[in-house]
């Protein structure tokens, strides 16, 4: 059997209007909870504040767990843990994002760290995604619309996908599909268009960004892989996290990854840079030394972790030195 996951049912409403009668298990993070707790009145019988994304830490949450429905309040860290618990406990899951920081609110997999890389396991798609644009507007600027990194990554991801096709390096399961590639390009265009408004925290822009993320996720669900949206820019992010530590948000790592890979691919980086800047993605969080070191070891990293083929696999010292002329 091949199963194709849906995206969550999406409701736009104030968090304060949520009425819940079932016993709630609350999965959140400290900062996110502080930001929205006054808007919520949930019959919580169990709760946890997630601090890391490892399968072991999620397993640890199973002991003592209680509740009939799981609420994930926060960003990617909270929802990935909540999706794991929902799958293990076979319970419904309601996701309340406090920032549009990633696409994880819409997906059926949880990203976890293992051996210095990010892996995904099939868990469970949230049943309901509740979007309160007042909450999103109030989120910290640098993460509020950082989910755009998961649609701008189409620029570099689809390049890798097509290039791998030309080199005969796509597996049968991830073969290049021209019309999907064009659809991905159109989602990329939609992200460029909404970036200025989303970056300001306006409903219109954030709504379009959410639509772009939902289209990207549903498209990947249908084809069964993420090649149109995930490539060398994500590999860079996964690798550089080992040097930078776990504290940095996804956008701080993927954003610079998109720019550097697009440049190496010979693409015009100006529209990407503008969209990232419009969405206030911090592009200077990674020190030059860590940046260089990551690029130089990236080909080895990619083969070690058996990542699908991209430009990151083939980087040469010469190319890298060309990026940073002294």
Site of interaction with Zn ion (CB under 5 A): 150
Both structure tokens of 21: 């009668």
70 versus 148: smaller Cβ distance to Zn ion: 148
80 versus 150: smaller Cβ distance to Zn ion: 150
164 versus 254: smaller Cβ distance to Zn ion: 254
Q: Collapsing DSSP states into helix, strand and coil, what is residue 145? A: coil
15 versus 108: smaller Cβ distance to Zn ion: 108
Q: Collapsing DSSP states into helix, strand and coil, what is residue 119? A: strand
Smallest gap from Cβ 76 to Zn ion, in A, equals 8
Task: Return all residues near 148 (Cβ < 8 A) that are at least 6 apart.
Answer: 191, 195, 198, 209, 212, 251, 275, 276, 279, 281
106 versus 135: smaller Cβ distance to Zn ion: 106
Smallest gap from Cβ 230 to Zn ion, in A, equals 7
Torsion angles phi and psi, residue 61, rounded to 5? -75, -15
Smallest gap from Cβ 62 to Zn ion, in A, equals 26
Smallest gap from Cβ 24 to Zn ion, in A, equals 28
Q: Where are the alpha helices (DSSP H) in the chain?
A: 30-36, 55-62, 76-89, 133-137, 141-144, 149-166, 178-199, 203-223, 232-244, 250-264, 270-278, 288-304, 317-323
Smallest gap from Cβ 5 to Zn ion, in A, equals 17
Calculate helix-pair angle for 203-223, 149-166, nearest 10 degrees.
30
132 versus 150: smaller Cβ distance to Zn ion: 150
Report angle CA 59, 100, 133 to the nearest 5 degrees. Answer: 120
241 versus 278: smaller Cβ distance to Zn ion: 241
Task: Return all residues near 52 (Cβ < 8 A) that are at least 6 apart.
Answer: 77, 113, 246
Both structure tokens of 202: 């306006």
Smallest gap from Cβ 194 to Zn ion, in A, equals 18
Smallest gap from Cβ 32 to Zn ion, in A, equals 19
Smallest gap from Cβ 53 to Zn ion, in A, equals 13
Sheet of strand 9-12: strand arrangement: 9-12, 128-131, 93-97, 69-74, 24-28, 44-49
Residue closest to Zn ion, measured at CB = 150
Q: DSSP letter string over 17-63?
A: G----SPEEEEE-HHHHHHHGGG----EEEEEE-----HHHHHHHHT
150 versus 160: smaller Cβ distance to Zn ion: 150
């Amino acid at each position: 059997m091949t199963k194709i996951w849906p995206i969550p049912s999406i409701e736009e409403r104030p968090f304060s209007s949520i009425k819940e009668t079932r016993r709630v298990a609350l999965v959140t993070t400290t900062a996110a909870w502080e930001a929205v707790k006054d808007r919520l009145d949930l019959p919580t019988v169990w709760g946890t504040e997630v601090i890391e994304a490892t399968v072991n830490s999620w397993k640890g949450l199973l002991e003592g767990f209680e509740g009939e429905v799981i609420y994930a309040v926060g960003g990617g860290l909270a929802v990935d843990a909540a999706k794991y618990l929902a799958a293990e406990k076979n319970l419904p899951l309601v996701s309340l994002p406090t920032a549009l920081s990633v696409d994880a609110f819409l997906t059926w997999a949880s990203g976890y760290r293992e051996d210095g890389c990010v892996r995904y396991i099939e868990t469970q798609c949230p049943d309901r995604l509740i979007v309160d644009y007042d909450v999103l507007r109030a989120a910290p600027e640098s993460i509020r619309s950082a989910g755009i990194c998961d649609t701008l990554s189409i620029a570099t991801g689809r390049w890798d996908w097509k290039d791998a096709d030309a080199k005969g390096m796509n597996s049968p399961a991830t073969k290049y599909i021209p019309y999907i590639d064009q659809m991905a390009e159109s989602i990329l265009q939609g992200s460029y268009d909404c970036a200025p408004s989303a970056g300001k925290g306006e409903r219109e822009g954030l709504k379009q960004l959410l639509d772009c993320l939902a289209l990207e996720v549903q498209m990947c669900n249908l084809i069964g892989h993420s090649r149109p949206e995930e490539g060398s820019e994500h590999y860079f992010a996964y690798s550089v996290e080992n040097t930078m530590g776990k504290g940095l948000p996804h956008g701080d790592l993927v954003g610079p990854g998109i720019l550097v890979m697009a440049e190496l691919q010979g693409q015009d980086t100006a529209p990407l840079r503008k969209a990232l800047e419009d969405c206030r993605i911090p592009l200077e969080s990674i020190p030059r030394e860590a940046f260089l070191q990551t690029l130089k070891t990236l080909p080895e990293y990619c083969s070690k972790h058996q990542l699908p083929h991209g430009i990151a696999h083939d980087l040469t010292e010469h190319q890298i030195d060309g990026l940073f002329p002294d």
